[in-house]
Structure 1
Amino acid sequence: MQNNTIEEYNFYVFFPGGYKNRVSDVIKDIIDIFVMKKNDREKVYLGTLYTNSMVNDIFQSGELFIAERNMIIVKDLNRSTIYKAIEKIIDDQYLDKILSYDEYVNIFETKDIRYDLL
């Protein structure tokens, strides 16, 4: 499963607003994602990815806790890391436990895949 292309995974990861426009530092940043299994386009899972460095900075700034639904902490925000993390979550059957979901049509208002957001 090393060096998979997006097409080889059994799910899509969408980046609202696009990936390039949202990630300024792959080591220290946060990004919202939508995850959709290719064999179940009726559900879109909602999540926010934090890098470990970003979490450390938040605590070093004096915060006592971080509380966010659908939060996943990842090593970095490289696309390959994101896809491998989501693949592991799905393979371990944790997707429904970690991320909440909404009906696809309520989020995207269409069933067409927005490839510009992948």
Structure 2
Amino acid sequence: MYNHEMATGEIEIIINKLEILNEVSKLPFNLRKYQKPKEQLRLQHRYIDLRFPEMQNVLRQRSKMVHNMRKFLVEEHSFVEVETPTLFCRTPGGAREFVVPTHHSGLFYSLVQSPQQFKQMLMAGGID
């Protein structure tokens, strides 16, 4: 059966039999109402809050802004974007480290305290 008034397409399906396997819980707030729920409730259910067009527009604007900044820095100023590791082998030092265990017996990593070591390696390699 065809329904030309549907925005999503032309084909409409008629169901002969329906079996509900799991009932859906009620959403904590309505997405179609004009009045927005309180911010605390929205933050607790962020995955639902992201369905609002305003929130999607914020993400799109942020993405465009970051893209334009990177494009400007790379194309017009010859910047090189380098991603340094977040986890690194443990190093002795004065700062207390956040240790992350691995699935391999006896291997541990820690969160990087400072990207200074990586910056120095890049500079020694000729990247300023």
Give the TM-score category using the shorter length.
under 0.3
TM superposition score normalised by structure 2: 0.19
Q: Which has the higher contact order (CA 8 A, sep 6+)?
A: 1
Q: Max radius of gyration: which structure?
A: 2
TM superposition score normalised by structure 1: 0.20
Is the strand fraction higher in 1 or 2?
1
